[in-house]
Structure formats: C-alpha cells, structure tokens
Amino acid sequence: MPEKSVSQAFMKNIIFDFGNVLIDLDIPSTYRALKELIAEEEKETAEDYINDQVKKYETGKISTELFVNSILKISKNSVQAKEVIDAWNKMLIGIPANRMDWLREMKKYHRMAIFSNTNELHIENVYQHLRSDHAGLDFENEFFEGVFYSHLLGCRKPEKDCFELVLERLGWKASETVFIDDLEVNVKAADQAGIIGMQLMADVAIEDVIPPGSLFATPK
C-alpha cells in the first residue's frame, strides 16, 4: 500500500455510483427512443412529465407496471408496453471485463459499496447482462459490502438523508469514505454529508484514472 503524506489520508472506503461509473451508459439513446414513442400533442410537456415519473419510479413510489403505463399514457396509440421497456433499457451498455479486474484489485485496498439512483427494470437488465457476459461472477457479493438501490431505499441522490442512511447501514465513517459519481450535484451532496466527493468526468473510464492503491484525499 502506498505511503501517505502528512497532508493526505488513504481512504478506507469507497461508495460508487453505478451508472456511468461502473456500468457504461448511453442515456441520450433512451430519451431519443422515448421521444419516438410520444404522441405529437404530448411532446411539449413530455420531458418534464417523464422526469417526474422517473423520480417516482426510482424511489419506489410506483411499480414497474405503473411506470410503463404512465409512459404509454402519453404515447402514440400503436405503442406497446414492450416498446416502452426496450426504449427505457436502451441506455444500458454494460460492464467491460477489464473493469471487473480493476474492482478485484481495488478490493485489496478498500471496503467498497454501491449507491445508485436506479429502478427495477434497469437492475433486472443489469442482472441479465452479468449472467450473459460475466457468467459465474457474483458481482454484488464478490466486490461490495453493500449495494443500495434507490427504488429499494425509498430515497435517492442528491438527498443528504439518503447518503446518511447508506453510511448508517454500512457502519462507515463519512470522513473515511470517498463517493464517486459522474454528476456534480451528487458529489456536492456527498460533501455536505461529510463524505469526500469525487466527480468522474464524462467519457472517462474509472480504471484509467484511479490505479489500485492510489486513492488519497486531503482531509477537510
């Protein structure tokens, strides 16, 4: 393990966001696909409406069936539920094999967890991807001490209380924990909860910028 300087501390714990940090996403592709399904007379207000439904879905306030039906409600008459589901899952690309190798090395230095704003459809799709592309790997249990999905927690980032709930369940100290996310608003929320927030820039692979054993943070 690398030596730590007087001004830096080696961070014991890492909480990862999932999408665009550990699993690659193409979010615009989903919104393009959904746009093709929306009825012409609904397009002006569709974005705000869909974002509101997503927030409810990602906090477990509505079921998958209700979420899909909410999109069907503003879609063209010919659109079927499967088309909505396919469009919604279109953003999910996958986890490259070399990232699994990186996580295996990172685990030698850190306790690790996931905290993700997500939903039942996406997690089911991720499980299918893991079974097909990473057969025999128990992803959640092999690498992480805890996996926290917003639709099961009943809250989501950037809510400060949700970060505190995750820390409480893990039994980790905020000051010894790094949170890595691709969105600035979530990183700032982690900072407010006393966690060291780090933003992963767009189109940057995490394994290319954080070599195992290199993660230090300047104490606040």
CATH number at residue 194: 3.40.50.1000
Q: Is the pLDDT of residue 184 over 50?
A: yes
* Whether residue 208 sits in one domain with residue 104: yes
Last residue within a domain, chosen from 89, 116, 142: 89
Residues 130 and 53 in one domain: no
**pLDDT for residue 59:** 98
pLDDT in tens, 105-125: 999 999 999 999 999 999 999
At residue 3, the pLDDT reads 46
169 pLDDT band, cuts 50/70/90, is very high
In this predicted structure, what is the pLDDT of residue 218?
54
Prediction pTM value = 0.92
User: Do residue 100 and residue 198 come from a single domain?
Assistant: yes
**Where does a domain end: 36, 70, 89?**
89
Least confident of 125-139, 179-193, 203-217: 203-217
Range of the domain at 43: 27-89
pLDDT grade, residue 8 (50/70/90)? low
152 and 82 share one domain: no
Does the residue 32 lie in any domain?
Answer: yes
Q: How many domains does the chain have?
A: 2
In a shared domain, residues 56 and 148: no
Containing H/E element for 84? Answer: helix 81-89
Q: What is the predicted pLDDT for the residue at 7?
A: 45
pLDDT, tens digit, for every residue of 201-217?
988 999 999 999 888 75
Say if residue 78 is in the same domain as residue 184: no
Strand order in the sheet with 146-149: 146-149, 111-116, 13-16, 177-181, 196-199
Task: Tell whether 141 and 61 lie within a shared domain.
Answer: no
**Residue 2 domain-assigned (yes or no):** no
Structural domain includes residue 210: yes
The string of pLDDT tens digits covering residues 52-101 is 999 999 999 999 999 999 999 999 999 999 999 999 999 999 999 999 99
**Looking at residue 217, what is its pLDDT?**
58
Q: Are residues 74 and 105 located together in one domain of the fold?
A: no
Calpha distance 22→212 (Å, rounded):
15
**Are 51 and 107 within one domain?**
no
Please, what is the average pLDDT of the chain? 93
Residues 136 and 194 in one domain: yes
- Together in a domain, 56 and 136: no
Q: Give phi and psi for 96, each to the nearest 5.
A: -70, 150
